[in-house]
Amino acid sequence: MSKFFFILALWLITPLTCAATPIHFKSGTTQSQLLELYTSQGCSSCPPAEKWLSQYLAKPYLWQQVIPINFHVDYWDNLGWPDPYASSVFTQRQRAYKALGNTRVVATPGFVVNGRGWHGWFYGKALPILKPKDVGILNLVIDDNKVSARFKPFLSNNDKLVLNISRVGFGLTNAIHRGENAGKLLKHDFVALSFQKLAFHQSTKFYALSATLSEPVVETNKQGIVAWVTKDGNPTPIQSVGGFLN
Cα–Cα distances in Å, from 94 out to 70, 80, 109?
A: 12, 22, 11
Q: What pLDDT score does 13 carry?
A: 44
Please calculate the CA angle 213-202-30 and round it to the nearest 5 degrees. Answer: 80
Residue 124 pLDDT exceeds 80 = yes
Q: Confidence band (pLDDT; 50, 70, 90) for 130?
A: confident
Please calculate the CA angle 102-118-85 and round it to the nearest 5 degrees. Answer: 90
Over residues 137-154, mean pLDDT: 97
* pLDDT tens for each residue of 200-239: 999 888 999 999 999 999 999 999 999 999 999 999 999 9
Question: CB of 221 within 8 A of CB of 239?
Answer: no
Q: Confidence band (pLDDT; 50, 70, 90) for 155?
A: confident
Question: CB of 38 within 8 A of CB of 70?
Answer: no
- 0.95 cut: is pTM over it? no
What is d(CA 100, CA 230) in angstroms, rounded to the nearest whole number? 14
* pLDDT tens for each residue of 158-181: 899 999 999 999 999 999 999 999
Question: CB of 113 within 8 A of CB of 181?
Answer: no
What is d(CA 228, CA 162) in angstroms, rounded to the nearest whole number? 8
* pLDDT tens for each residue of 72-83: 999 999 998 999
Q: Beta strands 66-72 and 33-39: pairing type?
A: parallel
Residue with the larger pLDDT of the pair 15 and 110 = 110
Please calculate the CA angle 141-145-149 and round it to the nearest 5 degrees. Answer: 30
Residue 16 pLDDT exceeds 70 = no
Over residues 3-9, mean pLDDT: 39
Name the residue among 19, 22, 23, 20 with its Cα closest to residue 241.
23
